[in-house]
Amino acid sequence: MPTSPRQDLLSLTQLALARVLRRETVRLLALIAVAVATTFLTRAIADSVRERERREAAEWFDRGSKDLEHGDADAAAASFRRAAIKRRGDNRYVLALADALARTGNLDAAERALVAIRQSNPEDPQINLALARAAAARGDLTTAVRYYHNALYAPWAAADGPRGVRLELIRLLLDRGDARGAVAELIAATTDLPGTAAAHNEIGTLFARAADHGRALDQFTRALALDAQNRASLAGAGRAAFALGDYARARRYLHSVRGDDETATLAAVADLVLTRDPLASRISAAERRRRLVANLTHAHDRLEKCLMAQMPDLAPLLAREMAGLRADRRSIARDADVLEAAVNLTYRIEQHAQARCGDATPLDRALLLVAQRHGLDQP
């Protein structure tokens, strides 16, 4: 059937268009366009899902926190675990999970959770600190110290972060009886102390716990330089000086502090050491004898009273022996050469009395310290 030129042109155009459309290139480009569009769509959906997961993780975290407040560590651990799974990149959730697991007594699981996140965050101070606490809880001091050091030298957001960690480490070492390790850490701690009396007092107290009374006294002295009336500094300095045997200094500090039974007792003992020491310098011979006789008398009387009370059947025998001793006492006091021996005798009597009678008075303590002061505390 004959066609018009217009119809011919139309069918030719359609043919060409179909040919174009069929060409693989066009279809491939269409596919690529679909792929690009789908990528953006998928990314948008993924972002939406991620945001939802973030909210769910926060919700589980809140639930876990409430469970912890109510004391239900098991439920808290389950909630924190779900939060951690929902939002793996957020270490807060794993740290909370580890804390909850530790509270349930599941220290191994707590540590495993922390070790897992530490693999990707080896320098995170909070993770290292949590691992240190976990190791300490299960009694592994070596590992705990290692993690504490990792935490100490990790980058902290807060400037005083490492200080708190070091103090925690020091307390742990002291609790576990490692005074030497504690002193090493305390010395390090003194290098960046804030310039407050409280900070020096804190370090001084810890030095004293570690039995390093010299450094303790130094810290308390620094505290007093900042605040001369600080009660804690005065008490601490007094105790440190007392422990060092510097009773004059101890008395000076301790008498400035009022109202504390312990410091009052220490002050009294320090007084007595100074006033009852027969070997003190710059006292007359008469005063020396007077002190010695008084000390021996006190020690004898205490022992006599104690023995009589404990062994009443032997009272007559004890009375004779003690009378003999009393006579010897006076002669000892007259003989200057045996002064030290007398001080030692006083020490030994007091020791026996303390062993059998207990409840030493300040004077009894002072008499023992007098002997120790002069190296006359041999048994």
Q: What is the token pair recorded at 185? A: 């850490």
Rounded to a whole number of angstroms, the minimum distance from the CB of residue 76 to other proteins is 15
Question: Cβ(104)–Cβ(74) under 8 Å?
Answer: yes
How many amino acids of this chain bind other proteins (CB under 8 A)?
29
CB 151 within 8 A of CB 125: yes
For the bound state, the minimum distance from the C-beta of residue 62 to other proteins, rounded and expressed in Å, comes to 11
Residue of 39, 196, 229, 372 that binds other proteins (CB under 8 A): 39
Rg (C-alpha) for the chain, rounded Å, is 40
How far, in Å, CA of 66 to CA of 75, rounded? 10
Binding-site member from 4, 119, 142, 284 for other proteins (CB under 8 A): 119
9 to 38: interface string for other proteins, x by CB under 8 A: -------------x-x--xx--xx-xx--x
In this structure, are residues 83 and 60 in contact, taking their beta carbons and an 8 Å threshold?
A: yes
For 279, other C-beta atoms within 10 Å of its C-beta total 17
Q: Which two tokens stand for residue 170?
A: 């020091």
Least CB distance to other proteins at residue 145 (A)? 23
Please report which residue ranges of the chain form alpha helices under DSSP H.
Answer: 5-22, 24-69, 73-86, 91-103, 107-118, 125-137, 141-152, 161-175, 179-189, 197-209, 213-226, 231-244, 247-254, 261-276, 285-310, 315-334, 339-357, 362-373
Binds other proteins by CB under 8 A, chosen from 16, 45, 225, 317: 45
Site residues for other proteins, 142-171, by CB under 8 A, read: none
CB-nearer residue toward other proteins: 86 or 298: 86
List binders of other proteins among 53-82 (CB under 8 A). Answer: 56, 59-60, 81
109 binds other proteins (CB under 8 A): yes
Which residue type is seen at 15? L
Q: Least CB distance from residue 52 to other proteins, whole Å? A: 7
Residue closer to other proteins by CB (options 59, 168) is 59
Q: What is the per-residue binding string for other proteins in 89-108, x denoting contact by CB under 8 A?
A: x-------------------
Contacts of 160 (CB under 8 A, 6+ apart): 194
Where along the sequence are the contacts to other proteins (CB under 8 A)?
22, 24, 27-28, 31-32, 34-35, 38-39, 42-43, 45-46, 49, 52, 56, 59-60, 81, 85, 88-89, 109, 112-113, 115-116, 119
